[in-house]
Amino acid sequence: MTPNPLYKITPSTDPSELNKKDFQSDQDIRWCPGCGDYSILKQVQSVLPGLGIPKEDMVVVSGIGCSSRFPYYMNTFGLHTIHGRAPGVVSGIKSLRPELSVWMITGDGDSLSIGGNHLIHILRRNMDVKILLFNNRIYGLTKGQYSPTSERGKRTKSTPLGSLEEPFNPISLALASGASFVARSVDVEAKHLQETLKAAAAHKGTALVEIFQNCNIFNDGAFKEVTHRQTKADQQLVLRAGEPAIFGANKDRGLVFDSLTMSFKIAEISEVGLESIYVHNPQNKIASQLLAELGIPDFPVPLGVLYQHERPCYDQMMSEQIDYAQRLFAGVTEDQPLPSRPSMQSLLDGGDTWLVQ
Amino acid sequence: MATDKVSVEQRDRVTIRFAGDSGDGIQLTGSQFTHTSAIAGNDLATFPDFPAEIRAPAGTLAGVSGFQIHFASSSVFTHGDTPDVLVAMNPAALKANLSDLKRGGVLIVNTHPFNAKNLERAGFDGNPLEGDELSAYKVYPIDITTMTLNAIADVGLNQRSATRSKNFFALGLIYWLFNRDMVHTERWIEEKFQRRDPQVAEANRKALKAGYFFGETAGIFTHSYVVEAAEIPAGRYRNITGNEALGLGLMAAAELSGLELFLGSYPITPASDLLHFLSKQKHFGVKTYQAEDEIAAVCAALGASFAGGLGVTSTSGPGMALKAEAIGLAAMMELPMVICNIQRGGPSTGLPTKTEQSDLLQVLFGRNGECPLPVVAAQSPSDCFWTAIEATRIALRHMTPVLLLSDGYLANGAEPWLIPQMSTLAPIAKSFHKPQLNEAGEPIPFLPYERDENLGRPWAIPGTAGLEHRLGGLEKEHRTGNVSYDPDNHQFMVELRAEKVERITRFIPPLEISGAQSGEALFVSWGGTFGSVRAATNNLNLQGREVGHIHLRHINPLPLGLEEALSSYDRVIVPELNMGQLNMILRARFLIDTIPLTKVKGKPFQVSELEAFFERVTTPVSPEKLINQGAQS
């Protein structure tokens, strides 16, 4: 995307020289010791230098919550906005400046409760923004109330007898909202998280990455089955495009699709043969929707890029529509150069006017 | 011939109200008459008054749509207190508007819909055209519908479509009554309908002429009227509504500052027309974004401002309430932004299509924390253009969100406007911050909250290498902009942000007082009441009364010299379409016993109301009366 010269104050810097340190700000990090956010910050700081994007063209925007302190720790342009509203702010940034690389940091309370409306609409519009949704299934910054991803029956400060609410599944919600890229990773799975972040960065359009993030103070162990050394092989279903959906310490189990019940089932590979195992196709939305519903206790938790299908981005279409309007007004076809914009005076003078002598 | 008997009478000013069912084409009729009068050289002002419901049941009071025009051969400040002429297209329109008609005024009634069913719907006991209920007026009962159908019978439209042309018959009749030229409307019909539907064009043209010729030949009118051209400054004019002027003003401000205009908005009456207007200007590079809600709209505008655009959001009272938190964030981030509030009747959903000035305290104080922000208000439809430019100038000079107040009356009202020349308008300074080097050529660390003499901070936009920085809603440390919980720093920053707004006074033009510079009373007004208050002041001055008028464009900060002006009069009257909000501010700021004149009826002030109030407060109370009052209490 050619940037508007209006915004080019300084020459672009060379991104090939960037390293992790360039993305670390001078601010003290104030998350609780042991918080999953540290790992996520580290992986983001490791991935961004390799994207080939000048650092000054990156903007990190957050809402409110523990995760939303993130921009302060990144030495890029950054905004720490208000609760739930980061999608609105990033939509304005991208609409004006489609050439910028915009990363939105949010949490389960920020994006699924107070900002739920904004999240579904940014996904629907397909703004070219990367959204990292830190899901710890709790309100941390307000010291431990249940969140929209807390399981039903969860006992917290505001639900002493257990919550009465069914949780959101962020992946299913994103798919239903028309997201063009939906992925899931885990705070402590450094390699997988980096791989997922790179895939999100490479996607043109809104990329939603749900990151399981442990809050060791108010909801410790929320994802322990997925992260514990002894259980994770059985509880993680790492999906990769074109590869069979297999799991287990010995990679001996996998998903088969049962067309009669239109659902996935777990099968022993030794019994059904590898050729019967579902091969992950992130472009298949129906399959992705079925995969999104899988999880503990009956199934392992799907990780990786669950769905990806590129479609036009709002921000780019907005710029194209302006060019189109300019051509339309000037009566110039697409194969000819873009005409200059009409003068403001012509608009003031337009319509029905009359002369007073 | 009948026409020989018609005498032509000169009038300085006339007010006409067209009223009918919302499907009767009343707004169109009114705007055509307006345009023709403007071309004839009259000064004028108009006010449309339409129902909140899109399609209220036909024939009901709820479905009555009105359009009023006040045109004159001298200055016009308002759309007119009481109509001289009322055109009522059905019983409901008559019922809803009759009490406003001047006694002795001309009442033209379409008799066709005056049947039992419609009369009952409108709440009449009998047929008012038959009794002496209307004896105070010059009544002209005319079966406009039937005459229209007869006039266009050969066009071949079905009855339902043909009936729709009756507003053009009424318009033609009024054109004749005021000796107006039909040519502009004929041209308009040609442009609007000829290609799309030549039959409709033909029917409208014929109906228009039939109405005109009916006036000429029917012999029922003894007078026709002439309102000569007014003396107005030479130049090219157009009619403009407040929302159009606001849109043009924002575009002009973007051009004058060299910024891209970005509007984040959510549909709301009466602000939506601004969104519509700017959405049509894509070929000028204007970006409009219809967000999922009011909050997303203001946040998008803020994001655009951060990215280096002229971020604007538009709304009305209820939306303003929703945007409050984000406006506080903009104040904390100290980013330039314009927030347009086209006020309507409140509270809550209130009166969406009616005007009011009741959001003043909301925009002044409706945010959490100590959060003063600049507030400017437009005074007439065309003044919305200049107010948009002023708001942008303040926003960029002081790096602050600015609240711009308009209202439903200004937004939908129209007036002739001397078209400004862009080349004569002063540019608006904006500067994107550049990285600074010291004498040794090394980069100086960037301080995002360093101040200039206006206390504005640098605007460093993404894409500028070396100026990477973080902004947010947490309290900022002076100069560095880092998060700070230091008690002294917070005290300092709260005071600094207030002082920044206060320093805008240095740029506000000297206070202007119209009329008497001291004496019996001073009117202090703001916003859309300008026309009524100025007209009342002029009338009272002509009667020899010592009354002055200050109209405030800047409400925060208030202009210097205001306190001195207020104390130069025996009394200060503050007329407002609310329950006394500016009045409260003036009392609090200056400890002066100002007198509120308040009204919340969804309608503008009538000039006569202001004059009567002035009389009441300036008439000395007799000692007897005081004694009587004392005896009673």
ipTM entry: 0.98
DSSP state of B468: -
Q: Are B269 and B341 in contact (CB under 8 A)?
A: no
Whether the pLDDT of residue A268 is over 60: the answer is yes
CB atoms within 10 A of CB B79: 26
Q: Does domain A5-243+280-315 have CATH number 3.40.1010.10?
A: no
Q: Which of B362, B405, B375, B352 is nearest to B246 (CA)?
A: B405
Residue A297's Cβ-count burial label (10 Å; 0-12, 13-18, 19+) is exposed
CB atoms within 10 A of CB B436: 13
Find which of B299, B371, B484 to mutate to test the A interface (most A CBs within 10 Å of its CB). Answer: B299
- Selecting from B299, B311, B420 the residue whose C-beta is nearest the C-beta of A85 gives B299
> Where exactly does CATH 3.40.50.970 map onto chain A?
5-243+280-315
Pull the structure tokens for residue A45. Answer: 């700081």
Tell me which H or E stretch contains B262: strand B261-265
Q: Are B79 and B46 in contact (CB under 8 A)?
A: yes
Q: Cα distance from A248 to chain B (closest Cα, Å)?
A: 44
Chain B residues touching A97 at Cβ < 8 A: 307-308, 462-463
Find the closest chain A residue to B424 by CA distance.
A345
Distance of alpha carbon A288 from alpha carbon A307, whole angstroms: 6
Mean local confidence (pLDDT), B363-387: 98
- Selecting from B311, B434, B462 the residue whose C-beta is nearest the C-beta of A97 gives B462
In a domain, B519, yes or no: yes
In a domain, B496, yes or no: no
Q: Cα distance from B300 to chain A (closest Cα, Å)?
A: 4
Chain A CB within 8 Å of residue B282 CB: yes
Chain B residues touching A75 at Cβ < 8 A: 468
pLDDT of residue B629: 66
- Selecting from A11, A80, A96 the residue whose C-beta is nearest the C-beta of B473 gives A80
Residues of A (103-162) whose Cβ lies below 8 Å from B: 117-118, 121
**SS3 category, A88:** helix
Distances (CA, A) of B261 to B242, B245, B286, B287, B307: 19, 15, 5, 6, 12
- pLDDT tier at A1, thresholds 50, 70, 90: low
Pull the structure tokens for residue B429. Answer: 């300074």
| Residues sharing a CB contact under 8 Å with residue B39, sequence separation 6 or more, in sequence order | A354, B181, B184
Mean local confidence (pLDDT), B26-38: 93
Mean local confidence (pLDDT), A321-332: 96
pLDDT of residue B22: 84
User: Is B263 in the same domain as B198?
Assistant: no
Find which of A77, A80, A316, A355 to mutate to test the B interface (most B CBs within 10 Å of its CB). Answer: A77
Q: Are B375 and B357 in contact (CB under 8 A)?
A: no
- pLDDT tier at B1, thresholds 50, 70, 90: very low
pLDDT of residue A355: 87
Mean local confidence (pLDDT), B18-35: 92
* Phi/psi of residue B334, nearest 5 degrees: 55, 60
As separate numbers, helices (DSSP H) first and strands (DSSP E) second, chain A gives 12, 12
User: Is B95 in the same domain as B139?
Assistant: yes
- Selecting from B283, B464, B473 the residue whose C-beta is nearest the C-beta of A328 gives B283
Mean local confidence (pLDDT), A99-122: 98
Interface contacts A/B by beta carbons within 8 Å: 232
Pull the structure tokens for residue B586. Answer: 């003036």
Q: In DSSP terms, which residues pair with A207 in a beta bridge?
A: A130, A181
Cis peptide before B557 (omega within 30 of 0): yes
Cis peptide before A300 (omega within 30 of 0): no
- Residue B365's region, left for phi above 0, alpha for psi from -120 to 50, else beta, is alpha
Q: Are B45 and B415 in contact (CB under 8 A)?
A: yes
| Residues sharing a CB contact under 8 Å with residue B174, sequence separation 6 or more, in sequence order | B16, B33, B85, B87, B108, B180, B211
A350-354, B80-84, B112-116: the lowest-pLDDT one: A350-354
Distances (CA, A) of B481 to B239, B269, B476: 47, 39, 5
pLDDT of residue B2: 44
- pLDDT tier at B624, thresholds 50, 70, 90: confident
Distance of alpha carbon A220 from alpha carbon A198, whole angstroms: 28
Query: Each residue of B292-330: b (16+ CB within 10 Å) or e?
Result: bbbbbbbbbbbbbbbbbbbbbbbbbbbbbbbbbbbbbbb
The string of pLDDT tens digits covering residues B474-493 is 999 999 999 999 999 999 99
User: Is B568 in the same domain as B523?
Assistant: yes
Q: Are B302 and B325 in contact (CB under 8 A)?
A: no
In a domain, B90, yes or no: yes
CB contact under 8 A, B237 and A349: no
Written as one string, the DSSP assignment of B7-52 is EEEE-SEEEEEEEEETTS-HHHHHHHHHHHHHHTT-EEEEEEE--S
CB contact under 8 A, A91 and B35: no
Whether the pLDDT of residue B632 is over 70: the answer is no
Pull the structure tokens for residue A35. Answer: 């918080």
- Selecting from B262, B465, B482 the residue whose C-beta is nearest the C-beta of A10 gives B465
In a domain, B594, yes or no: yes
Chain A CB within 8 Å of residue B293 CB: yes
**SS3 category, B429:** coil
Chain B residues touching A324 at Cβ < 8 A: 282
Whether the pLDDT of residue A20 is over 70: the answer is yes
Q: What is the average pLDDT value for chain A, to the nearest integer?
A: 97
User: Is B113 in the same domain as B210?
Assistant: yes
User: Is B73 in the same domain as B198?
Assistant: yes
* Amino acid letter, residue B623: P
CB contact under 8 A, A329 and B422: no
Q: Sign of the C-alpha dihedral, residues A328, A333, A338, A340?
A: negative
Find the closest chain A residue to B294 by CA distance.
A88
DSSP state of A250: T
Find which of B241, B292, B423 to mutate to test the A interface (most A CBs within 10 Å of its CB). Answer: B292
User: Is B157 in the same domain as B277?
Assistant: no
User: Is B256 in the same domain as B131?
Assistant: no
- Selecting from B260, B262, B292 the residue whose C-beta is nearest the C-beta of A118 gives B292
Match 């157009």 to its residue by tokens.
B238
- Selecting from A27, A92, A353 the residue whose C-beta is nearest the C-beta of B238 gives A353
pLDDT of residue B295: 98
User: Is B202 in the same domain as B242?
Assistant: no
Distance of alpha carbon B514 from alpha carbon B523, whole angstroms: 10
User: Is B266 in the same domain as B397?
Assistant: yes
Written as one string, the DSSP assignment of B470-532 is EEESSPBPTBT--B---HHHHHHHHHHHHHHHHGGGGGSPPP--EE-SSEEEEEEEEGGGHHH
Residues of A (210-269) whose Cβ lies below 8 Å from B: none
Distance of alpha carbon A224 from alpha carbon B57, whole angstroms: 63
Q: Cα distance from B535 to chain A (closest Cα, Å)?
A: 23
User: Where are the alpha helices (H) located in chain A, listed in sequence order?
Assistant: 37-47, 86-96, 108-109, 116-125, 170-176, 190-202, 224-227, 232-235, 269-272, 285-292, 314-330, 344-349
Distance of alpha carbon B20 from alpha carbon B34, whole angstroms: 17
Chain A CB within 8 Å of residue B428 CB: no
In a domain, B575, yes or no: yes
- pLDDT tier at B631, thresholds 50, 70, 90: low
- Residue A100's region, left for phi above 0, alpha for psi from -120 to 50, else beta, is beta
Total number of domains in chain B: 3
- Selecting from A10, A81, A341 the residue whose C-beta is nearest the C-beta of B435 gives A10
pLDDT of residue B4: 56
CB contact under 8 A, A82 and B326: yes
Range of the domain at B268: 238-424
CB contact under 8 A, B308 and A78: no
Look up the CATH number of the domain holding residue B395.
Answer: 3.40.50.970
Match 């010299």 to its residue by tokens.
B561
Distance of alpha carbon B43 from alpha carbon A325, whole angstroms: 36
Task: Work out whether strand A207-212 and strand A181-186 pair parallel, antiparallel, or are unpaired.
Answer: parallel
pLDDT of residue A352: 80
Chain A CB within 8 Å of residue B20 CB: no
User: Is B85 in the same domain as B170?
Assistant: yes
E strand intervals along B98-256: 106-110, 138-142, 223-226, 235-241
Distance of alpha carbon B379 from alpha carbon B387, whole angstroms: 9
In a domain, B492, yes or no: no
Find the closest chain A residue to B238 by CA distance.
A353
In a domain, B490, yes or no: no
Q: Which of A327, A323, A300, A167 is nearest to A236 (CA)?
A: A300
The string of pLDDT tens digits covering residues B576-622 is 999 999 999 999 999 999 999 999 999 999 999 999 999 999 998 77
pLDDT of residue B51: 73
CB contact under 8 A, B333 and A330: no
Chain B CB within 8 Å of residue A56 CB: yes
* Amino acid letter, residue B290: Q
pLDDT of residue B414: 87
Chain B residues touching A3 at Cβ < 8 A: 463
Q: Which of B257, B626, B246, B200 is nearest to B422 (CA)?
A: B257
pLDDT of residue B564: 96
Chain A CB within 8 Å of residue B237 CB: yes
Q: Cα distance from A49 to chain B (closest Cα, Å)?
A: 15
* Amino acid letter, residue A195: E
Query: Each residue of A121-148: b (16+ CB within 10 Å) or e?
Result: bbbebbbbbbbbbbbbbbbbbeebbbbb
The string of pLDDT tens digits covering residues B146-173 is 999 999 999 999 999 999 999 999 999 9
- pLDDT tier at B58, thresholds 50, 70, 90: confident
CB contact under 8 A, B237 and A354: yes
Distance of alpha carbon B450 from alpha carbon A42, whole angstroms: 31
CB contact under 8 A, B291 and A342: no
- pLDDT tier at B298, thresholds 50, 70, 90: very high
Chain B residues touching A72 at Cβ < 8 A: 470, 472, 483
CB contact under 8 A, B306 and A89: yes
In the listed set B195, B226, B257, which residue is the last one of a domain according to the structure? B226
CB contact under 8 A, B300 and A321: no
Chain B residues touching A6 at Cβ < 8 A: 258, 260, 308
In the listed set B183, B202, B226, which residue is the last one of a domain according to the structure? B226
Chain B residues touching A100 at Cβ < 8 A: 307, 462-463
User: Is B167 in the same domain as B211?
Assistant: yes
Find the closest chain A residue to B312 by CA distance.
A92
Find the closest chain A residue to B472 by CA distance.
A80
- Selecting from B233, B304, B432 the residue whose C-beta is nearest the C-beta of A92 gives B304
E strand intervals along B63-219: 64-72, 85-88, 106-110, 138-142
Share of chain A above pLDDT 70, in %: 99
* Amino acid letter, residue B107: L
Tell me which H or E stretch contains A163: none
Distance of alpha carbon A35 from alpha carbon A213, whole angstroms: 8
Mean local confidence (pLDDT), B505-521: 97
Following CA atoms A238, A239, A240, A245 in sequence, which dihedral angle do they give, to the nearest 10 degrees? Answer: 100
User: Is B216 in the same domain as B250?
Assistant: no
Residue B192's Cβ-count burial label (10 Å; 0-12, 13-18, 19+) is middle
Share of chain B above pLDDT 90, in %: 91
CB contact under 8 A, B296 and A57: no
Q: Cα distance from B268 to chain A (closest Cα, Å)?
A: 18
Mean local confidence (pLDDT), B424-441: 95
Chain B residues touching A76 at Cβ < 8 A: 468
